[in-house]
């Protein structure tokens, strides 16, 4: 049997981290078993679904690299199929038309509540003939007896008595099919073998199983993933900070860091923290998914991000960094090789946004000095060392770190001072006080012209203070 999983988002907002984790687990499960991963857009809620949100979901999945093998399928294109299934249920007497008024249903609800009963439809229309030409809904005739039992791959055996389930509306009075009906028709048509989704859907599962059986369709396996909580213990939402996947891209996270973070959010393999995509595919298993909720921890995500910035191929990091340089108005093609800048700077930042910020000085003169650094390094006593080192640097035949290093050393010797007396003001003069690697490398990357210009600027700046 080929494993077929799906991700079935409702396009009513961006792709959030909870959805991305569901997509990742479904994707991993399919990849691990050589199966297929299908994308289905559940856009039947015409008021809340938007094309922008569909794009945001597609964009988020593409950025994460969660490629789907089939789809995207849109539920709004499949109304004929849903109606066919509803008609079949009506013919078999497993569904019925109901024209109970809002008022009646409201009254029923109030009476049940007053008697401390769970509010549910009382089945009045089960045996009535309702004119199909008049306004009505269609309800599924849920079995009265028995218990629905299923083996959840995360939660274990789940049992729900049919007596607790309602006669669900499967077609609204405007003719549109409802969620539980569309999901079962699609899961069956698309040959889904494993439904992996958030546990907010766990109450729907027994209803969906009853519908599948009524339609003589195969029942897939289910795996319900635990909730993701914010640091205050409530369900993760906007008020806990960024929850949109694309926000993490804008904030300078690497997709592999977010994927690694998400895979660990509810799943573990011993105490291993770092997983390449290949390792995830190899090691991931639904049986190791936690049953209890997981807490989103931004610090840990930052730690992982820094890890991937440091360990990934620098050319890959440079490609991802480039648009963040662009955000600062910098075209990395107009300066030192961005790959070398990444190698030089990447240990000093946790995100690409930060990396771009501390690397801007390689490409353009900074606006102002970092205050503390300037105060410490750009003092009147620094003028002489700056002049001396400038002379030597301007006379260099080639602008390579070895020669630059020798020029600085020679200046230190000539003035008979400690290295810092030359190095400190020179570094601040050239970088403005931004974090930077070895001085000779920094200068090589900044280039001769900019280095000399900035030394002059620092000397002038000190002159103004005096």
> Is 454 an interacting residue with respect to ligand GLU (CB under 6 A)?
no
CB of 80 to ligand GLU, least distance (A): 20
How far is it, in rounded angstroms, from Cα 154 to Cα 136? 39
Q: How many residues bind ligand GLU (CB under 6 A)?
A: 7
Comparing CB distances to ligand GLU, the nearer of 5 and 436 is 5
User: Pick from 31, 141, 194, 201: which binds ligand GLU (CB under 6 A)?
Assistant: 201
> Is 10 an interacting residue with respect to ligand GLU (CB under 6 A)?
yes
- Tally of CB atoms within 10 A around 376: 14
Instruction: Check if the beta carbon of residue 458 is closer than 8 Å to that of residue 428.
Output: yes
CB of 186 to ligand GLU, least distance (A): 9
> Is 221 an interacting residue with respect to ligand GLU (CB under 6 A)?
no
CB of 340 to ligand GLU, least distance (A): 44
Piece of the chain touching ligand GLU by CB under 6 A; list 4-12, 122-130, 136-144, 424-432? 4-12
> Is 236 an interacting residue with respect to ligand GLU (CB under 6 A)?
no
> Is 357 an interacting residue with respect to ligand GLU (CB under 6 A)?
no
Comparing CB distances to ligand GLU, the nearer of 10 and 461 is 10
Position of minimal CB gap to ligand GLU: 197
Residue 211: asked if its preceding bond is cis (omega within 30°), the reply is: no
As annotated, the active-site residues are: 238
Long-range contacts of 164-168 (CB under 8 A, 24+ apart): 164/118, 165/206, 165/207, 165/210, 166/120, 166/121, 166/142, 167/98, 167/121, 167/123, 167/126, 167/139, 167/140, 167/141, 167/142, 168/139, 168/140, 168/142, 168/207, 168/211
CB of 322 to ligand GLU, least distance (A): 33
Give the three-class secondary structure for 338: helix
Comparing CB distances to ligand GLU, the nearer of 199 and 282 is 199
User: Pick from 5, 8, 181, 421: which binds ligand GLU (CB under 6 A)?
Assistant: 8
Alpha-helix runs per DSSP H in 39-133: 51-64, 79-91, 102-114
- Tally of CB atoms within 10 A around 364: 14
- Tally of CB atoms within 10 A around 407: 22
Tokens representing residue 387 in the block: 């002049």
Give the three-class secondary structure for 42: coil
CB of 19 to ligand GLU, least distance (A): 7
CB of 12 to ligand GLU, least distance (A): 8
- Strand stretches in 154-306, DSSP E: 156-161, 169-171, 194-198, 221-225, 228-229, 294-295
Question: What residues from 166 to 195 belong to the interface with ligand GLU (CB under 6 A)?
Answer: 183
Taking phi over 0 as left and psi of -120 to 50 as alpha, with beta for the rest, 270 belongs to left
User: Pick from 4, 36, 197, 224: which binds ligand GLU (CB under 6 A)?
Assistant: 197
Instruction: Check if the beta carbon of residue 161 is closer than 8 Å to that of residue 145.
Output: no
> Is 9 an interacting residue with respect to ligand GLU (CB under 6 A)?
yes
Tokens representing residue 178 in the block: 């409802």
CB of 440 to ligand GLU, least distance (A): 55
Piece of the chain touching ligand GLU by CB under 6 A; list 5-13, 235-243, 391-399, 458-466? 5-13
The residue behind tokens 């569904």 is 95
What is the distance between the terminal CA atoms of the chain, rounded to a whole angstrom? Answer: 82
Instruction: Please name every residue paired with 16 in a beta bridge, in sequence order, or none if there are none.
Output: 244
Give the three-class secondary structure for 361: helix
285: which residues sit within 8 A by CB, 6+ positions away? Answer: 32
From the list 461, 450, 458, the residue with the least C-alpha distance to 429 is: 458
> Is 42 an interacting residue with respect to ligand GLU (CB under 6 A)?
yes
How far is it, in rounded angstroms, from Cα 451 to Cα 407? 13
CB of 26 to ligand GLU, least distance (A): 9
Comparing CB distances to ligand GLU, the nearer of 78 and 197 is 197
Comparing CB distances to ligand GLU, the nearer of 106 and 189 is 189
CB of 18 to ligand GLU, least distance (A): 9
Comparing CB distances to ligand GLU, the nearer of 11 and 385 is 11
Piece of the chain touching ligand GLU by CB under 6 A; list 3-11, 25-33, 47-55, 89-97? 3-11
How far is it, in rounded angstroms, from Cα 325 to Cα 327? 5
Q: Which residues bind ligand GLU (CB under 6 A)?
A: 8-10, 42, 183, 197, 201
């Amino acid at each position: 049997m080929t494993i077929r999983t799906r991700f079935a988002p409702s396009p009513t907002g961006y792709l959030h981290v909870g959805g991305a984790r569901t997509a990742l687990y479904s994707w991993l499960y399919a990849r691990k078993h050589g199966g297929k991963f299908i994308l289905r857009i559940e856009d039947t809620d015409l008021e809340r679904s938007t094309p922008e949100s569909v794009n945001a979901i597609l964009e988020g999945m593409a950025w994460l690299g969660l490629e789907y093998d089939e789809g995207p399928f849109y539920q709004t294109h499949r109304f004929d199929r849903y109606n066919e299934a509803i008609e079949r249920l009506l013919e078999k007497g497993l569904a019925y038309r109901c024209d109970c008024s809002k008022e009646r249903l409201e009254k029923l609800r109030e009476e049940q509540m007053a008697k401390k009963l769970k509010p549910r439809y009382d089945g009045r229309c089960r045996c009535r003939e309702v004119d199909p030409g008049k306004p009505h809904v269609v309800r599924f005739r849920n079995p009265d007896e028995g218990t629905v039992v299923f083996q959840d791959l995360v939660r274990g055996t789940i049992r729900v008595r049919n007596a607790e389930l309602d006669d669900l509306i499967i077609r609204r009075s405007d003719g549109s099919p409802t969620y539980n009906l569309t999901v079962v028709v699609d899961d069956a048509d698309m040959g889904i073998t494993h439904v992996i989704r958030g546990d907010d859907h766990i109450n729907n599962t027994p209803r969906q199983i009853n519908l599948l059986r009524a339609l003589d369709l195969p029942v897939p396996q289910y795996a319900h993933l635990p909730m993701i909580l914010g640091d205050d213990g409530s369900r993760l939402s906007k008020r806990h900070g960024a929850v949109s996947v694309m926000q993490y891209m804008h904030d300078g996270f690497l997709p592999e860091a977010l994927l690694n973070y998400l895979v660990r959010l509810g799943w573990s393999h011993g105490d291993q923290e770092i997983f390449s995509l290949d390792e995830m595919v190899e090691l991931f298993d639904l049986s190791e998914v936690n049953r209890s909720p997981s807490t989103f921890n931004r610090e840990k995500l930052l730690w992982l991000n820094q890890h991937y910035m440091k360990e990934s191929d620098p050319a890959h990091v440079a490609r991802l960094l480039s648009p963040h340089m662009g955000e600062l108005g910098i075209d990395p093609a107009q300066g030192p090789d961005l790959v070398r800048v990444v190698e030089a700077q990447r240990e000093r930042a946790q995100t690409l946004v930060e990396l771009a910020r501390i690397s801007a000085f390689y490409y353009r003169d900074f606006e102002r000095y970092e205050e503390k650094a300037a105060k410490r390094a750009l003092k009147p006593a620094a003028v002489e060392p700056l002049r001396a080192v400038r002379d030597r640097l301007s006379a260099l035949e080639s602008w390579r770190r070895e020669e630059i290093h020798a020029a600085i050393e020679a200046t230190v010797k000539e003035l008979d001072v400690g290295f810092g007396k030359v190095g400190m003001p020179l570094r601040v003069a050239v970088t403005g006080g931004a974090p930077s690697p070895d001085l000779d490398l920094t200068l090589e990357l900044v280039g001769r012209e900019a280095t000399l210009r900035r030394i002059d600027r620092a000397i002038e700046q000190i002159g103004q203070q005096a």
